[in-house]
Structure 1
Amino acid sequence: MVSFLIIDDHPLFREALGNAVRMTHPDAQIFEAMSIERALQVLSVNAGIDLALLDLSLPDATGFSGFLRLRENYPRLPVAIVSNDEDRQVIREALTLGAAGYLPKSTSKSELALAIELVLSGSVAVPKGFAPSSGVTDTNATEALRMRLQELTPQQLRVLGLIRGGLQNKQIATELKLAESTVKAHVTEILRKLKLFSRNKAIIELGRLNLPVAKNRSKLKA
Protein backbone atom coordinates (compact mmCIF):
# COMPACT_ATOMS: atom_id res chain seq x y z
CA MET A 1 0.00 0.00 0.00
CA VAL A 2 1.32 3.44 -0.96
CA SER A 3 1.36 6.02 1.84
CA PHE A 4 1.38 9.82 1.65
CA LEU A 5 1.82 12.70 4.07
CA ILE A 6 -0.07 15.87 3.12
CA ILE A 7 1.27 18.96 4.93
CA ASP A 8 -1.05 21.94 4.51
CA ASP A 9 -2.90 24.15 7.00
CA HIS A 10 -6.00 24.49 4.80
CA PRO A 11 -8.47 21.60 5.33
CA LEU A 12 -10.12 22.04 1.93
CA PHE A 13 -6.85 21.77 0.07
CA ARG A 14 -5.76 18.77 2.13
CA GLU A 15 -9.02 17.15 1.04
CA ALA A 16 -8.42 18.13 -2.59
CA LEU A 17 -4.92 16.65 -2.54
CA GLY A 18 -6.24 13.49 -0.91
CA ASN A 19 -8.82 13.18 -3.69
CA ALA A 20 -6.12 13.63 -6.33
CA VAL A 21 -4.04 10.90 -4.70
CA ARG A 22 -6.99 8.50 -4.61
CA MET A 23 -7.65 8.95 -8.35
CA THR A 24 -4.70 6.61 -9.00
CA HIS A 25 -4.29 5.04 -5.54
CA PRO A 26 -7.79 4.46 -4.14
CA ASP A 27 -6.41 2.37 -1.26
CA ALA A 28 -3.62 4.78 -0.37
CA GLN A 29 -2.87 5.45 3.29
CA ILE A 30 -2.95 9.22 3.76
CA PHE A 31 -1.62 11.07 6.79
CA GLU A 32 -2.22 14.78 7.32
CA ALA A 33 -0.41 17.57 9.16
CA MET A 34 -1.11 21.29 9.54
CA SER A 35 2.46 22.25 10.46
CA ILE A 36 6.05 21.10 10.17
CA GLU A 37 6.13 20.16 13.86
CA ARG A 38 3.13 17.92 13.41
CA ALA A 39 4.58 16.46 10.21
CA LEU A 40 7.77 15.52 12.05
CA GLN A 41 5.68 13.83 14.74
CA VAL A 42 3.76 11.84 12.11
CA LEU A 43 6.99 10.78 10.41
CA SER A 44 8.54 9.70 13.71
CA VAL A 45 5.84 7.07 14.27
CA ASN A 46 5.02 6.08 10.68
CA ALA A 47 7.98 4.59 8.87
CA GLY A 48 7.98 4.07 5.12
CA ILE A 49 5.89 7.01 3.92
CA ASP A 50 6.40 7.10 0.15
CA LEU A 51 5.85 10.78 -0.56
CA ALA A 52 5.23 14.03 1.31
CA LEU A 53 3.23 16.81 -0.35
CA LEU A 54 4.23 20.10 1.24
CA ASP A 55 2.75 23.59 1.15
CA LEU A 56 5.41 26.29 1.67
CA SER A 57 3.06 28.57 3.64
CA LEU A 58 2.62 27.08 7.10
CA PRO A 59 2.23 28.58 10.59
CA ASP A 60 5.70 27.42 11.67
CA ALA A 61 7.65 27.78 8.42
CA THR A 62 8.85 30.62 6.23
CA GLY A 63 10.00 30.19 2.66
CA PHE A 64 11.89 26.92 2.36
CA SER A 65 12.62 26.56 6.08
CA GLY A 66 9.97 23.85 6.54
CA PHE A 67 11.21 21.94 3.52
CA LEU A 68 14.78 22.11 4.81
CA ARG A 69 13.73 20.80 8.23
CA LEU A 70 12.07 17.80 6.59
CA ARG A 71 15.16 17.14 4.46
CA GLU A 72 17.44 17.48 7.48
CA ASN A 73 15.46 14.99 9.58
CA TYR A 74 14.34 12.62 6.79
CA PRO A 75 16.81 13.00 3.90
CA ARG A 76 15.48 9.94 2.05
CA LEU A 77 11.84 11.07 2.09
CA PRO A 78 10.74 12.42 -1.32
CA VAL A 79 9.07 15.81 -0.81
CA ALA A 80 7.05 17.50 -3.55
CA ILE A 81 6.06 21.10 -3.02
CA VAL A 82 2.46 22.11 -3.72
CA SER A 83 2.17 25.89 -3.63
CA ASN A 84 0.24 28.96 -4.76
CA ASP A 85 3.55 30.59 -5.69
CA GLU A 86 4.25 30.03 -9.38
CA ASP A 87 7.30 32.28 -9.59
CA ARG A 88 9.84 30.49 -11.80
CA GLN A 89 12.70 31.51 -9.56
CA VAL A 90 10.96 29.92 -6.57
CA ILE A 91 10.46 26.74 -8.61
CA ARG A 92 14.11 26.68 -9.64
CA GLU A 93 15.21 27.12 -6.03
CA ALA A 94 12.92 24.31 -4.86
CA LEU A 95 14.40 21.93 -7.42
CA THR A 96 17.94 23.05 -6.58
CA LEU A 97 17.29 22.25 -2.91
CA GLY A 98 16.17 18.76 -3.86
CA ALA A 99 12.38 18.89 -4.13
CA ALA A 100 10.94 15.82 -5.85
CA GLY A 101 8.57 18.08 -7.76
CA TYR A 102 6.82 21.44 -7.77
CA LEU A 103 3.05 21.39 -8.27
CA PRO A 104 1.11 24.68 -8.49
CA LYS A 105 -2.15 24.71 -6.56
CA SER A 106 -3.84 26.00 -9.71
CA THR A 107 -3.22 22.59 -11.31
CA SER A 108 -6.35 20.54 -11.97
CA LYS A 109 -7.03 17.46 -9.87
CA SER A 110 -6.35 15.11 -12.79
CA GLU A 111 -3.06 16.88 -13.57
CA LEU A 112 -2.09 16.70 -9.89
CA ALA A 113 -2.76 12.97 -9.94
CA LEU A 114 -0.52 12.52 -13.00
CA ALA A 115 2.22 14.67 -11.46
CA ILE A 116 2.11 12.65 -8.23
CA GLU A 117 2.45 9.44 -10.26
CA LEU A 118 5.44 10.96 -12.05
CA VAL A 119 7.16 11.71 -8.73
CA LEU A 120 6.43 8.22 -7.39
CA SER A 121 8.06 6.76 -10.50
CA GLY A 122 11.28 8.60 -9.64
CA SER A 123 10.93 11.51 -12.05
CA VAL A 124 10.69 15.20 -11.16
CA ALA A 125 7.34 16.90 -11.79
CA VAL A 126 7.37 20.56 -12.83
CA PRO A 127 4.69 22.97 -14.09
CA LYS A 128 3.83 23.03 -17.79
CA GLY A 129 6.19 25.22 -19.78
CA PHE A 130 8.79 25.43 -17.03
CA ALA A 131 12.40 25.49 -18.22
CA PRO A 132 15.69 26.18 -16.39
CA SER A 133 17.01 29.69 -16.76
CA SER A 134 20.35 30.76 -18.16
CA GLY A 135 23.22 29.76 -15.91
CA VAL A 136 25.07 32.98 -16.76
CA THR A 137 22.15 35.11 -15.59
CA ASP A 138 21.83 33.11 -12.37
CA THR A 139 25.54 33.42 -11.65
CA ASN A 140 25.54 37.18 -12.15
CA ALA A 141 22.54 37.64 -9.85
CA THR A 142 24.12 35.44 -7.19
CA GLU A 143 27.39 37.36 -7.24
CA ALA A 144 25.54 40.68 -7.02
CA LEU A 145 23.68 39.46 -3.93
CA ARG A 146 26.94 38.23 -2.39
CA MET A 147 28.39 41.71 -2.81
CA ARG A 148 25.33 43.35 -1.23
CA LEU A 149 25.64 41.07 1.80
CA GLN A 150 28.91 42.79 2.61
CA GLU A 151 26.96 45.99 3.30
CA LEU A 152 25.16 44.42 6.29
CA THR A 153 26.32 45.05 9.84
CA PRO A 154 27.23 42.07 12.08
CA GLN A 155 23.90 42.40 13.92
CA GLN A 156 21.97 42.53 10.65
CA LEU A 157 23.77 39.36 9.52
CA ARG A 158 22.72 37.64 12.75
CA VAL A 159 19.11 38.70 12.19
CA LEU A 160 19.28 37.53 8.58
CA GLY A 161 20.64 34.15 9.65
CA LEU A 162 17.69 33.63 11.99
CA ILE A 163 15.23 34.70 9.29
CA ARG A 164 16.71 31.96 7.10
CA GLY A 165 16.20 29.55 9.99
CA GLY A 166 12.46 30.23 9.84
CA LEU A 167 12.16 32.46 12.93
CA GLN A 168 9.62 35.27 13.09
CA ASN A 169 10.40 38.74 14.49
CA LYS A 170 9.24 37.93 18.04
CA GLN A 171 11.39 34.79 18.15
CA ILE A 172 14.39 36.68 16.77
CA ALA A 173 13.91 39.35 19.43
CA THR A 174 14.00 36.69 22.14
CA GLU A 175 16.98 34.92 20.59
CA LEU A 176 19.08 38.10 20.29
CA LYS A 177 17.66 39.80 23.40
CA LEU A 178 16.38 42.77 21.41
CA ALA A 179 13.13 44.71 21.34
CA GLU A 180 10.77 43.44 18.64
CA SER A 181 10.63 46.96 17.18
CA THR A 182 14.42 46.87 16.82
CA VAL A 183 14.20 43.56 14.96
CA LYS A 184 11.56 45.00 12.63
CA ALA A 185 13.86 47.94 11.88
CA HIS A 186 16.73 45.56 11.16
CA VAL A 187 14.57 43.48 8.80
CA THR A 188 13.49 46.59 6.89
CA GLU A 189 17.07 47.75 6.52
CA ILE A 190 18.29 44.28 5.51
CA LEU A 191 15.73 44.04 2.72
CA ARG A 192 16.58 47.57 1.57
CA LYS A 193 20.29 46.83 1.37
CA LEU A 194 19.77 43.50 -0.37
CA LYS A 195 17.22 45.06 -2.77
CA LEU A 196 14.64 42.38 -1.95
CA PHE A 197 10.94 42.99 -1.37
CA SER A 198 10.14 40.37 1.29
CA ARG A 199 11.74 38.05 3.83
CA ASN A 200 10.51 35.05 1.81
CA LYS A 201 12.39 36.40 -1.21
CA ALA A 202 15.48 36.82 0.98
CA ILE A 203 15.30 33.15 2.04
CA ILE A 204 14.94 32.02 -1.56
CA GLU A 205 17.77 34.19 -2.90
CA LEU A 206 20.17 33.37 -0.06
CA GLY A 207 19.52 29.68 -0.57
CA ARG A 208 21.41 30.02 -3.85
CA LEU A 209 24.58 30.97 -1.96
CA ASN A 210 24.71 27.75 0.13
CA LEU A 211 25.27 29.72 3.33
CA PRO A 212 24.85 27.93 6.68
CA VAL A 213 21.41 28.32 8.31
CA ALA A 214 21.44 29.72 11.86
CA LYS A 215 20.16 27.45 14.60
CA ASN A 216 17.63 28.57 17.21
CA ARG A 217 19.61 28.27 20.46
CA SER A 218 16.49 28.28 22.61
CA LYS A 219 15.30 25.12 20.81
CA LEU A 220 18.70 23.48 21.17
CA LYS A 221 18.56 24.01 24.93
CA ALA A 222 15.07 22.55 25.26
Structure 2
Amino acid sequence: MARILVADDHPLFRDALRLMLSSGPNQHHIAETDSLPATLAWLNDHEEPDLLVLDLAMPGSAGLLGLQQIRRDWPALPVIVVSGSDQALIIAGSKELGASGFCSKSAAPDALRHALECVLAGELYFPELTHSAEHSALLHAMAQLQTLTPAQFEVAMRVSTGELNKTIAWDLGISEATVKAHLTTIFRKLGLHGRAQLVSLLSQLRLRPE
Protein backbone atom coordinates (compact mmCIF):
# COMPACT_ATOMS: atom_id res chain seq x y z
CA MET A 1 0.00 0.00 0.00
CA ALA A 2 1.42 3.37 -1.04
CA ARG A 3 0.82 6.72 0.65
CA ILE A 4 -0.40 9.24 -1.94
CA LEU A 5 -1.09 12.94 -1.52
CA VAL A 6 -3.67 14.27 -3.99
CA ALA A 7 -3.33 18.05 -4.38
CA ASP A 8 -6.30 19.35 -6.36
CA ASP A 9 -8.99 21.95 -5.70
CA HIS A 10 -11.84 20.07 -7.38
CA PRO A 11 -13.67 17.90 -4.78
CA LEU A 12 -15.29 15.67 -7.41
CA PHE A 13 -11.93 14.89 -9.00
CA ARG A 14 -10.39 14.15 -5.59
CA ASP A 15 -13.32 11.90 -4.71
CA ALA A 16 -13.04 9.99 -7.99
CA LEU A 17 -9.28 9.60 -7.61
CA ARG A 18 -9.61 8.46 -3.99
CA LEU A 19 -12.20 5.84 -4.90
CA MET A 20 -10.07 4.62 -7.79
CA LEU A 21 -6.87 4.37 -5.75
CA SER A 22 -8.38 2.93 -2.58
CA SER A 23 -10.13 0.07 -4.38
CA GLY A 24 -9.02 -2.82 -6.56
CA PRO A 25 -5.86 -4.92 -6.11
CA ASN A 26 -3.70 -1.96 -4.99
CA GLN A 27 -5.53 -0.18 -2.19
CA HIS A 28 -3.49 2.93 -1.47
CA HIS A 29 -3.78 5.35 1.45
CA ILE A 30 -4.90 8.78 0.22
CA ALA A 31 -4.44 12.23 1.77
CA GLU A 32 -5.85 15.38 0.17
CA THR A 33 -5.08 19.10 -0.10
CA ASP A 34 -6.86 21.78 -2.13
CA SER A 35 -4.32 24.59 -2.60
CA LEU A 36 -0.59 25.07 -3.10
CA PRO A 37 -0.05 26.61 0.38
CA ALA A 38 -1.98 23.72 1.97
CA THR A 39 0.12 21.25 0.00
CA LEU A 40 3.39 22.83 1.12
CA ALA A 41 2.16 22.89 4.73
CA TRP A 42 1.11 19.22 4.54
CA LEU A 43 4.50 18.21 3.17
CA ASN A 44 6.24 20.15 5.94
CA ASP A 45 4.11 18.55 8.67
CA HIS A 46 4.01 14.91 7.54
CA GLU A 47 6.33 12.13 6.51
CA GLU A 48 7.07 12.38 2.80
CA PRO A 49 4.47 10.40 0.81
CA ASP A 50 5.29 7.84 -1.86
CA LEU A 51 3.67 10.01 -4.55
CA LEU A 52 2.29 13.51 -5.01
CA VAL A 53 -0.51 13.93 -7.55
CA LEU A 54 -0.31 17.63 -8.39
CA ASP A 55 -2.72 20.00 -10.15
CA LEU A 56 -0.90 23.12 -11.38
CA ALA A 57 -3.99 25.38 -11.25
CA MET A 58 -5.01 25.23 -7.58
CA PRO A 59 -5.63 28.37 -5.49
CA GLY A 60 -2.32 29.96 -4.58
CA SER A 61 -0.65 28.05 -7.36
CA ALA A 62 2.16 29.54 -9.39
CA GLY A 63 1.76 27.07 -12.25
CA LEU A 64 5.05 25.44 -13.13
CA LEU A 65 6.77 27.62 -10.53
CA GLY A 66 4.84 25.77 -7.82
CA LEU A 67 6.17 22.48 -9.18
CA GLN A 68 9.67 23.98 -9.25
CA GLN A 69 9.38 24.90 -5.57
CA ILE A 70 8.20 21.42 -4.60
CA ARG A 71 11.00 19.75 -6.55
CA ARG A 72 13.55 22.09 -4.94
CA ASP A 73 12.36 21.47 -1.36
CA TRP A 74 11.49 17.77 -1.74
CA PRO A 75 13.88 16.53 -4.45
CA ALA A 76 13.27 12.82 -3.80
CA LEU A 77 9.45 13.03 -3.87
CA PRO A 78 7.92 11.48 -7.00
CA VAL A 79 5.43 13.92 -8.54
CA ILE A 80 2.92 13.27 -11.29
CA VAL A 81 1.17 16.31 -12.77
CA VAL A 82 -2.51 15.67 -13.52
CA SER A 83 -3.83 18.68 -15.40
CA GLY A 84 -6.94 19.86 -17.17
CA SER A 85 -4.66 21.25 -19.89
CA ASP A 86 -2.46 19.05 -22.06
CA GLN A 87 -0.57 21.87 -23.77
CA ALA A 88 2.85 20.80 -24.98
CA LEU A 89 4.60 23.48 -22.89
CA ILE A 90 2.96 22.26 -19.67
CA ILE A 91 3.90 18.65 -20.35
CA ALA A 92 7.46 19.46 -21.40
CA GLY A 93 7.87 21.96 -18.58
CA SER A 94 6.69 19.41 -16.02
CA LYS A 95 9.31 16.98 -17.27
CA GLU A 96 12.05 19.62 -17.38
CA LEU A 97 11.34 20.62 -13.77
CA GLY A 98 11.66 17.07 -12.52
CA ALA A 99 8.16 15.60 -12.44
CA SER A 100 8.02 11.85 -12.89
CA GLY A 101 4.94 11.91 -15.06
CA PHE A 102 2.06 13.79 -16.65
CA CYS A 103 -1.50 12.69 -17.33
CA SER A 104 -4.45 14.68 -18.62
CA LYS A 105 -7.59 14.81 -16.48
CA SER A 106 -9.52 13.89 -19.61
CA ALA A 107 -7.77 10.51 -19.75
CA ALA A 108 -9.85 7.38 -19.20
CA PRO A 109 -9.79 6.07 -15.59
CA ASP A 110 -7.76 3.01 -16.59
CA ALA A 111 -5.18 5.22 -18.30
CA LEU A 112 -4.93 7.46 -15.26
CA ARG A 113 -4.52 4.48 -12.93
CA HIS A 114 -1.84 3.07 -15.24
CA ALA A 115 0.03 6.40 -15.20
CA LEU A 116 -0.02 6.56 -11.41
CA GLU A 117 1.06 2.96 -10.99
CA CYS A 118 3.94 3.50 -13.45
CA VAL A 119 5.25 6.43 -11.43
CA LEU A 120 4.81 4.52 -8.15
CA ALA A 121 6.91 1.76 -9.69
CA GLY A 122 9.72 4.24 -10.33
CA GLU A 123 9.06 4.74 -14.03
CA LEU A 124 8.51 7.93 -16.02
CA TYR A 125 5.18 8.52 -17.73
CA PHE A 126 4.94 11.29 -20.36
CA PRO A 127 3.19 11.62 -23.72
CA GLU A 128 5.45 12.00 -26.74
CA LEU A 129 6.00 15.64 -27.65
CA THR A 130 7.45 17.90 -30.30
CA HIS A 131 8.88 21.28 -29.26
CA SER A 132 8.68 24.64 -30.98
CA ALA A 133 11.62 27.06 -30.87
CA GLU A 134 9.70 29.16 -28.33
CA HIS A 135 9.15 26.13 -26.12
CA SER A 136 12.83 25.20 -26.35
CA ALA A 137 13.82 28.67 -25.10
CA LEU A 138 11.39 28.44 -22.20
CA LEU A 139 12.57 24.94 -21.31
CA HIS A 140 16.16 26.21 -21.24
CA ALA A 141 15.07 29.02 -18.90
CA MET A 142 13.34 26.47 -16.65
CA ALA A 143 16.54 24.45 -16.43
CA GLN A 144 18.48 27.57 -15.48
CA LEU A 145 15.81 28.54 -12.96
CA GLN A 146 16.69 25.43 -11.00
CA THR A 147 20.23 26.75 -10.48
CA LEU A 148 18.93 29.65 -8.36
CA THR A 149 19.47 29.45 -4.63
CA PRO A 150 16.36 29.61 -2.39
CA ALA A 151 17.15 33.27 -1.61
CA GLN A 152 17.57 34.12 -5.30
CA PHE A 153 14.34 32.31 -6.19
CA GLU A 154 12.44 34.22 -3.48
CA VAL A 155 13.74 37.54 -4.81
CA ALA A 156 12.84 36.55 -8.38
CA MET A 157 9.29 35.61 -7.36
CA ARG A 158 8.81 38.89 -5.51
CA VAL A 159 10.11 40.93 -8.45
CA SER A 160 7.71 39.06 -10.73
CA THR A 161 4.75 40.29 -8.67
CA GLY A 162 5.89 43.92 -8.91
CA GLU A 163 7.61 44.42 -5.56
CA LEU A 164 10.32 47.07 -5.39
CA ASN A 165 13.84 46.37 -4.15
CA LYS A 166 13.19 48.41 -0.99
CA THR A 167 10.10 46.39 -0.12
CA ILE A 168 11.83 43.08 -0.84
CA ALA A 169 14.79 44.07 1.34
CA TRP A 170 12.49 45.08 4.22
CA ASP A 171 10.39 41.91 4.06
CA LEU A 172 13.40 39.57 3.84
CA GLY A 173 15.52 41.42 6.39
CA ILE A 174 18.37 42.11 3.97
CA SER A 175 19.89 45.24 2.45
CA GLU A 176 18.87 46.73 -0.87
CA ALA A 177 22.45 46.12 -2.02
CA THR A 178 21.95 42.39 -1.36
CA VAL A 179 18.71 42.42 -3.35
CA LYS A 180 20.51 44.10 -6.25
CA ALA A 181 23.33 41.56 -6.02
CA HIS A 182 20.79 38.71 -6.12
CA LEU A 183 19.14 40.27 -9.18
CA THR A 184 22.47 40.62 -10.99
CA THR A 185 23.12 36.92 -10.42
CA ILE A 186 19.56 35.97 -11.42
CA PHE A 187 19.79 37.91 -14.70
CA ARG A 188 23.16 36.30 -15.47
CA LYS A 189 21.99 32.75 -14.71
CA LEU A 190 18.79 33.12 -16.72
CA GLY A 191 20.37 35.05 -19.60
CA LEU A 192 18.08 38.04 -19.05
CA HIS A 193 18.68 41.77 -19.42
CA GLY A 194 16.49 43.28 -16.73
CA ARG A 195 13.37 43.14 -14.59
CA ALA A 196 10.94 43.32 -17.51
CA GLN A 197 12.34 40.12 -19.06
CA LEU A 198 12.26 38.37 -15.66
CA VAL A 199 8.62 39.36 -15.12
CA SER A 200 7.72 38.16 -18.64
CA LEU A 201 9.48 34.81 -18.16
CA LEU A 202 7.92 34.02 -14.80
CA SER A 203 4.51 35.14 -16.05
CA GLN A 204 4.72 32.52 -18.80
CA LEU A 205 5.69 29.84 -16.30
CA ARG A 206 2.72 30.72 -14.09
CA LEU A 207 0.59 29.55 -17.06
CA ARG A 208 -2.45 31.64 -16.15
CA PRO A 209 -3.22 35.06 -14.66
CA GLU A 210 -3.07 35.20 -10.88
After TM superposition, the structure 1 stretch with the greater mean CA deviation from structure 2, 81-90 or 63-72, is 63-72
Tell me the distance in 2 between the aligned counterparts of 1:59 and 1:46: 21
- CA deviations on 1:151-173 (whole Å, 9 max, x unpaired) are xxxxxxxxx933787x5x7xx48
Calculate the TM-score normalised by the size of structure 2. Answer: 0.65
Calculate the TM-score normalised by the size of structure 1. Answer: 0.62
Alpha-carbon offset, residue 66 of structure 1: 1.6
Q: Which runs of 4+ in 1 moved over 6 A?
A: none
Instruction: Look up the match of 2:131.
Output: 133
Instruction: Look up the match of 1:29.
Output: 29
Alpha-carbon offset, residue 116 of structure 1: 0.5
Instruction: Look up the match of 1:91.
Output: 91
Alpha-carbon offset, residue 75 of structure 1: 1.1
Structure 2: state its 5+ residue gaps: 142-154, 170-195
Question: Aligned pair 1:68/2:68, yes or no?
Answer: yes
Give the letter for the 1:71 counterpart: R
Q: Provide the aligned C-alpha RMSD in A.
A: 3.6
Q: Find the residue that maps to 1:59 and give its secondary structure.
A: coil
- CA deviations on 1:64-105 (whole Å, 9 max, x unpaired) are 122122112211111110101111122111101111101111
Alpha-carbon offset, residue 119 of structure 1: 0.7
After TM superposition, the structure 1 stretch with the greater mean CA deviation from structure 2, 39-48 or 82-91, is 39-48
Alpha-carbon offset, residue 139 of structure 1: 8.4
Indicate if the aligned counterparts of 2:64 and 2:93 stay in contact, CA closer than 8 A: no
Give the letter for the 1:161 counterpart: A
Match of 1:161 among 140, 152, 156: 156
Indicate if the aligned counterparts of 1:2 and 1:25 stay in contact, CA closer than 8 A: no
Change beyond 3 A, Cα 1:139–1:67 = closer
- CA deviations on 1:134-157 (whole Å, 9 max, x unpaired) are 7xx4687469x9xxxxxxxxxxxx
Give the letter for the 1:36 counterpart: L
Structure 1: state its 5+ residue gaps: 146-159, 178-189, 205-222
Give the letter for the 2:129 counterpart: A
Q: Percent identity?
A: 29
- CA deviations on 1:10-35 (whole Å, 9 max, x unpaired) are 11111122233235565311110011
Q: Find the residue that maps to 1:111 and give its secondary structure.
A: helix
Aligned residue pairs total 168
Give the letter for the 2:105 counterpart: K
Change beyond 3 A, Cα 1:140–1:38 = closer
